Amino acid sequence: MEAVQNFMELSQQVVGFIYPNEIEIHWSILIVVYPYITGLVAGAFILASLVKVFNVKELQPTYRLALLTALAFLLIAPLPLQLHLGRPERSYEMFMTPNLTSAMAMFGFVYLWYLMLVLLLEIWFEYRRDMIVWSGEATGLKKWTLKVLSLFSTDISEKAVAFDKKTVKVITVIGIPSAFLLHGYVGFIFGSIKANPWWSSVMMPVVFLFSAIVSGIAIVMLLYMIIMPLRGGKIDMKCLDKVASFLFYAVIVDFSIEVLDFIHRLYESEESIKILSQLVSTKLFMSLVVLQILLGMLLPLGIMVVIKVFKLQEELRKLLYFVCAVLIQMGIFSTRWNVVIGGQLFSKSFRGLTTYKMELMGIEGFLVALALLIIPFVVLSVLIKLLPPWKKEELAGH
């Protein structure tokens, strides 16, 4: 009966005509959280790969942090999907009887490939030598945890360490297309739905990818600025400036692609254009025009231009970078919202709009979504404790 009450309220807010089965929004806030999280994973990994593959030395202080960030978020990424299923106890069917024509069926395989073969391997080779050294210095539980994590390897000869380094590089080279695959694939899940003109676009995987790179770089920048001082180190301004300038270029590319997509839709002006314009100018105005474009993209772009042109002093730069990174996170979250929720707010009859009323408490509610966004940071703090991204001399050296 409560559900009927809910639908009655919702139907009051429907504008125009929707098919009767469309009264319910099927992919809720949890499905907004999922591409947001995987985007952070892919983006953080791309930042890390800049150090190893493209040899951008200035970024070295963010390398390990970026890898651990990617891992922390990747570990949580399947949770929102699992929680959102109507029958979560059957999710294993996705591995047992995958339907090969389904983009979604590939999730488990893409995920495992990325987690097992790319991220865990790279982190293991990167930390192997240190884990052996640290397990020698530590005592008790930590000693044994590190020993287990290093898979009881003991060889820290120059030859072995050189092998580690080479392997890391190879994995990163495989990792870049894998990161592209991971997030491009999430874009494809939406972009391949021909029934939905808001989603159905060949640009979707590309837009997802670049927004992922933007959000990933911004989150690592944010974490670096917060964690480094907390651990008693000093922020390396050369590194920060470099991260910011990569962020700047990524935002420009992302923005251009989204503008291109927008102009293309407007110019082609297909059957759906009326309802989509109505969607953008009413239900999505706040989250798309204000939050995503103005505050999440143009404002940070403007700030970064000011920083570059006026060569501001260090403290002010730090503050402004921080503001930019926060704004960009909000902007990319809005991007995910506008894709996932926005794509369900208009009727496939193209004759009306519906409303999404987010629950507060329920399993697909606000609190669960918030928890899912907080848990990765808890995981990250454990990872950082166990596998410090910066060595003592690095912290003292700055």
350 belongs to the binding site for other proteins (CB under 8 A): yes
Least Å distance, CB 276 to other proteins, is: 15
Cross-strand bridge partners of residue 346: 353
Count the site residues for other proteins by CB under 8 A: 47
Nearer residue to other proteins within complex by CB, 103 or 298: 103
19: which 2 tokens?
A: 């098919």
**Using H for helix, E for strand and C for coil, what is the string for 114-168?**
HHHHHHHHHHHHHHHHHHHHHHHHCCHHHHHHHHHHCCCCCCCCHHHHHHHHHHH
Residue pair 275/79 in contact (Cβ under 8 Å)? The answer is no
258 belongs to the binding site for other proteins (CB under 8 A): no
Nearer residue to other proteins within complex by CB, 145 or 272: 272
269 belongs to the binding site for other proteins (CB under 8 A): no
Q: Please state at what angle helix 140-149 crosses helix 121-137, rounded to 10 degrees.
A: 150
Concatenated DSSP letters of 72-93: HHHHHTHHHHHHH-SSGGGTTH
Please pick, from the candidates 9, 13, 54, 99, the single residue that binds other proteins as defined by CB under 8 A: 99
Nearer residue to other proteins within complex by CB, 17 or 54: 17
Q: In what helix (H) or strand (E) does residue 349 lie, and over which residues does it extend?
A: none
Least Å distance, CB 288 to other proteins, is: 20
Please pick, from the candidates 22, 58, 122, 164, the single residue that binds other proteins as defined by CB under 8 A: 22
Least Å distance, CB 337 to other proteins, is: 16
**Residue with tokens 């700055």, as numbered in its chain:** 398
Q: Which stretch binds other proteins (CB under 8 A): 12-20, 43-51, 110-118, 232-240?
A: 12-20
Q: How far apart are CA 99 and CA 343, in angstroms?
A: 24
352: which 2 tokens?
A: 């009306």
Please pick, from the candidates 12, 55, 57, 97, the single residue that binds other proteins as defined by CB under 8 A: 97
Q: Which residues of this chain interact with other proteins, rule CB under 8 A?
A: 3-4, 7, 11, 16-24, 26-27, 81, 84-88, 90-91, 93-94, 96-99, 101-105, 107, 189, 192-196, 344, 347-351
